[in-house]
């Protein structure tokens, strides 16, 4: 049984005045598959490396089963790790690569043989055990890296963007393999990625990070359907959500110049009114799949239809992506129209307004009704300022340690 | 197209052949001289009129106190010991500078760069006096110290090589449970074989070929001489120059043999792409 907790974890790199990770709090339950996701440079790998022990923790406590692990050597943390670049030992065969850790831990030879063989069978590496990494394909190398982590039989498995170097087909294949592996091993897995398809498909829980600050933690569907702030709403989903600055007026929203006008259903108008946004600016967000050009939708929301000129049309087969501008803001619509559209065409698009989101223009928090549960995401100001808070001293203080 | 290619290849061949001819001539000359039976330093022909092995035999029969065998062993001893020490120091320092974080590292890197710009023999006189004060002159160990003291400053190429070994291999091994020493022994060293061979070759040939330091440190004690000092002395005295020139050539050929073998043997370690397949490239 492993329960991990990160309490007020902080990371300031030496000679830096800005914290890479200002204040990180997370509990991970036994057997959970947690995905850290965020744009590049968001600090997701830094947290992973602190858990692994490859990076010093500047502040806060990291515990496994209640025991503080901050200063415990990586080898004593009972973790295994898969690196983005595989990190195979080039002078060793596949077998030796997998056996290396076991040998260091003085596991008897028979046991080593058994475990390596087992892992090789699971991953389909049997025929390659005598080969050196140079003679393997990318996918095979990735599997060796996975196998190496598997034979350790560690309670926690850390995966740092393990699939980002594979081609699309292999990625799908390995994704399911890792999912299977997790079920089979039943250990904790922490998976870092910037690919939201990986996050959505594999995670029990997703931790969305930006600038080292947790934006939202929850199940994939929670993050997608119930975002706490504009960042989460914009990050989850592909293509990402469209945003438009509008003014709320009684029963409709309109752009400042009044050119675009969308009528709101009663309950949405009430929500905005109750939260005190009458006559004020709000950020209106709608996902590309909630924009339609079928006549039937137009009939449902006759007053939420606008005319647009298409900048670009991308037919993907099952669906077609339409790119255009609304009031100077770039918009995307994903439609499953059968109609043949061309760049430059002028069409009517209807907003399925009941699926829209509203955000405060200053805090960028989601505007929601009292009583509905929404993750307490940080405001924009909190995110922006968190890293700089009180770090100047720390940076110098820590710089001596390394 | 084809014709043009052939022509440029032919031109290259000719240029290389001419260059090779000029480079090989002196070597062939020395080898031929070492087999020449008739005496005299200056003769007007290239190929000996009479052939003999006597010049070689002379070196090892210890006539007139020219103790070539002893010099040879001295040189071998000094080169192997000094070479090993320097290699160890250079590789160790290069690894530490590439992998470890410590205070004044940046300063040391710059310091070494500046110091490295002075020719080594600048410090020769002062080191000679230091050794003299320590009562260490006239000994082979003094020479070994002389040859290896600078090794910790000549690490740039080696550090560059270590820098190319991905950090993630170290980290991976760390998680696997390896200590720093184990990482160095089991991961870094096997991967770094080519650079170690390169370093060792340099560290060995330096003392093997050196004349100037040996000349300063070893003084008049013939038994402690290295081959370079001994051979030079053999032909630098006027009365010997004519008679001993062929043996001098023989001695030069002899000294070149081990190092040639060494190069041929170690060459196979210079394989390219040792780190291939380690990380996604």
Based on the fold, state whether residues A197 and A57 are members of the same structural domain. yes
Based on the fold, state whether residues A209 and A249 are members of the same structural domain. no
Average pLDDT, chain B: 85
Based on the fold, state whether residues A22 and A152 are members of the same structural domain. yes
Q: Is residue A220 part of a domain?
A: yes
pLDDT by residue (tens digit) across A106-130? Answer: 999 999 999 999 989 888 889 999 9
Share in percent of chain A as helix, strand, coil (round to 5) = 35, 30, 40
Cα separation of the two ends of chain B: 35
Three-state secondary-structure class, residue A218: strand
Helix count (H) and strand count (E) of chain B? 14, 0
Based on the fold, state whether residues A167 and A43 are members of the same structural domain. yes
Question: What percent of chain B shows pLDDT beyond 90?
Answer: 23
Based on the fold, state whether residues A19 and A34 are members of the same structural domain. yes
Is pLDDT above 60 for A400? no
Based on the fold, state whether residues A217 and A241 are members of the same structural domain. no
Domain of residue B140: give its range: 54-269
- Count: domains in chain B: 1
pLDDT by residue (tens digit) across B210-225? Answer: 888 888 888 788 888 8
Among A225, A249, A264, the domain-final residue is A225
* The pLDDT of residue A122: 85
A311 and A228 Cβ atoms separated by less than 8 Å: no
Q: Is residue A204 part of a domain?
A: yes
CATH of residue B225's domain is 1.10.3720.10
* The pLDDT of residue A395: 52
Question: What percent of chain A shows pLDDT beyond 90?
Answer: 45
Based on the fold, state whether residues A23 and A102 are members of the same structural domain. yes
Based on the fold, state whether residues A89 and A115 are members of the same structural domain. yes
- Phi and psi at residue A109, to the nearest 5°: -55, -45
- Count: domains in chain A: 2
Based on the fold, state whether residues A237 and A147 are members of the same structural domain. no
Q: Is residue B7 part of a domain?
A: no
Q: Is residue A381 part of a domain?
A: no
Among A208, A225, A242, the domain-final residue is A225
* The pLDDT of residue A310: 92
Q: Is residue A379 part of a domain?
A: no
* The pLDDT of residue A243: 94
Is pLDDT above 80 for B279? no
Q: Is residue A98 part of a domain?
A: yes
A208 and A37 Cβ atoms separated by less than 8 Å: yes
- At A85, is the pLDDT very low, low, confident or very high (cuts 50, 70, 90)? confident
Closest CA to A356 of A298, A289, A295: A289
- At B278, is the pLDDT very low, low, confident or very high (cuts 50, 70, 90)? low
Q: How many CB atoms lie within 10 A of CB A7?
A: 15
A145/A123 Cα distance (integer angstroms): 11
Q: Is residue A377 part of a domain?
A: no
Q: Which residue of B has its CA nearest to A82?
A: B172
Q: Is residue B163 part of a domain?
A: yes
CATH of residue A298's domain is 2.40.50.100
Q: Is residue B281 part of a domain?
A: no
Q: Which residues of A touch B191 (CB under 8 A)?
A: 89-91
* The pLDDT of residue A1: 66
CB contact under 8 A, B176 and A100: yes
Q: Is residue B260 part of a domain?
A: yes
* The pLDDT of residue A68: 92
Which of A34-43, A384-393, B255-264 is predicted most confidently? Answer: A34-43
Is pLDDT above 50 for A402? no
Among A200, A225, A250, the domain-final residue is A225
Q: Which residues of A touch B176 (CB under 8 A)?
A: 75, 100-101, 104, 152
B97/B91 Cα distance (integer angstroms): 10
Q: Is residue B87 part of a domain?
A: yes
Share in percent of chain B as helix, strand, coil (round to 5) = 75, 0, 25
Q: In this predicted complex, what is the ipTM?
A: 0.77
Over residues A377-392, the mean pLDDT reads 77
A12 and A399 Cβ atoms separated by less than 8 Å: no
Sheet-wide strand order for A329-335 = A291-292, A346-351, A305-315, A320-326, A329-335
Based on the fold, state whether residues A360 and A246 are members of the same structural domain. yes
Q: Is residue B11 part of a domain?
A: no
Q: Is residue A286 part of a domain?
A: yes
- 86-105 in B: which are within 8 Å (CB) of A? 101
CA distance B111 to chain A (A): 21
CB contact under 8 A, B279 and A85: yes
Which residue in the set B182, B276, B280 is minimally distant from A90, CB to CB?
Answer: B276
Three-state secondary-structure class, residue B203: helix
Domain of residue A93: give its range: 4-225
Which residue in the set B174, B277, B280 is minimally distant from A134, CB to CB?
Answer: B277
Q: Is residue B62 part of a domain?
A: yes
Q: Is residue A294 part of a domain?
A: yes
Based on the fold, state whether residues A14 and A112 are members of the same structural domain. yes
* The pLDDT of residue B281: 44
Average pLDDT, chain A: 88
Based on the fold, state whether residues A54 and A84 are members of the same structural domain. yes
């Amino acid at each position: 049984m492993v329960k991990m907790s990160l309490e007020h974890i902080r990371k300031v790199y030496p000679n830096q005045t800005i914290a890479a990770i200002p204040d990180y709090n997370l509990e991970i339950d036994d057997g959970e598959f947690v995905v850290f996701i965020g744009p590049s440079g968001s600090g997701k790998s830094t947290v992973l490396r602190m858990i692994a022990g490859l990076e010093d923790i500047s502040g806060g406590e990291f515990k496994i089963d209640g025991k503080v692990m901050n200063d415990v050597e990586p080898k004593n943390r009972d973790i295994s790790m898969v690196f983005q670049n595989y990190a195979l030992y080039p002078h060793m065969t596949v077998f030796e690569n997998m056996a290396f850790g076991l040998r260091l831990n003085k596991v008897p030879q028979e046991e080593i043989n058994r475990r390596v063989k087992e892992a090789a069978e699971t991953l389909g590496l049997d025929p390659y055990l005598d080969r050196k990494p140079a003679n393997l394909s990318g996918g095979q190398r990735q599997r060796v890296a996975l196998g190496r982590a598997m034979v350790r039989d560690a309670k926690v498995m850390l995966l740092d963007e393990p699939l980002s170097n594979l081609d699309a087909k292999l990625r799908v294949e390995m994704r399911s393999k890792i999912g299977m592996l997790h079920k089979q091993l039943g250990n904790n897995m922490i998976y870092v990625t910037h690919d939201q398809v990986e996050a959505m498909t594999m995670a029990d829980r997703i931790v969305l990070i930006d600038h080292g600050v947790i934006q939202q933690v929850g199940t994939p569907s929670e993050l997608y359907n119930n975002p706490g702030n504009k960042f989460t709403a914009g990050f989850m989903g592909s293509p990402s959500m469209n945003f438009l600055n509008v003014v709320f007026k009684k029963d409709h929203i309109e752009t400042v110049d009044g050119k675009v006008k969308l009528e709101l259903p009663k309950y949405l108008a009430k929500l905005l009114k109750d939260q005190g946004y009458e006559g004020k600016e709000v950020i209106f967000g709608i996902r590309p799949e909630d924009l339609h050009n079928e006549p039937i939708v137009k009939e449902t929301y006759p007053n939420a239809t606008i005319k647009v000129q298409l900048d670009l049309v991308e037919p993907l087969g099952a669906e077609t992506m339409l790119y255009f501008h609304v009031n100077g803001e770039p918009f995307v619509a994903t439609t499953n129209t059968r109609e043949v559209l061309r760049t430059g065409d002028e069409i009517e698009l209807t907003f399925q307004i009941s699926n829209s989101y509203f955000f405060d223009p200053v805090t960028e928090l989601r505007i929601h009704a009292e009583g509905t549960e929404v993750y307490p995401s940080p405001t924009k100001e909190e995110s922006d300022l968190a890293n700089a808070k009180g770090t100047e001293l720390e940076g110098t203080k820590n710089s001596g340690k390394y | 197209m084809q014709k043009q290619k052939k022509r440029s290849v032919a031109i290259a061949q000719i240029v290389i052949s001419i260059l090779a001819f000029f480079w090989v001539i002196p070597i062939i000359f020395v080898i031929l001289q070492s087999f020449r039976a008739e005496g005299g330093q200056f003769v007007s022909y290239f190929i000996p009129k009479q052939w003999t092995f006597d010049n070689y035999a002379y070196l090892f029969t210890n006539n007139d106190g020219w103790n070539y065998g002893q010099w040879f062993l001295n040189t071998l001893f000094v080169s192997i010991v000094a070479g090993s020490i320097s290699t160890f120091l250079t590789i160790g320092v290069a690894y530490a500078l590439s992998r470890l974080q410590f205070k004044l590292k940046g300063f040391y890197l710059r310091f070494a760069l500046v110091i490295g710009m002075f020719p080594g023999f600048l410090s020769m006189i002062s080191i000679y006096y230091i050794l003299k004060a320590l009562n260490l002159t006239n000994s082979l160990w003094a020479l070994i110290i002389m040859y290896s003291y600078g090794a910790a400053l000549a690490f740039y190429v080696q550090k560059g090589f270590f820098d190319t070994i991905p950090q993630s291999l170290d980290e991976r091994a760390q998680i696997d449970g390896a200590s720093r020493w184990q990482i160095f022994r089991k991961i870094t060293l096997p991967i770094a074989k080519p650079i170690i061979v390169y370093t060792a070759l340099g560290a060995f040939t330096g003392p093997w070929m050196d004349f100037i330091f040996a000349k300063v440190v070893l003084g008049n004690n013939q038994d402690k001489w290295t081959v370079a000092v001994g051979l030079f002395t053999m032909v630098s005295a006027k009365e010997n120059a004519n008679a001993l020139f062929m043996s001098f050539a023989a001695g030069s050929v002899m000294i070149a043999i081990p190092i040639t073998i060494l190069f041929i043997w170690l060459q196979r370690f210079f394989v390219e792409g040792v780190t291939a397949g380690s990380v996604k490239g």
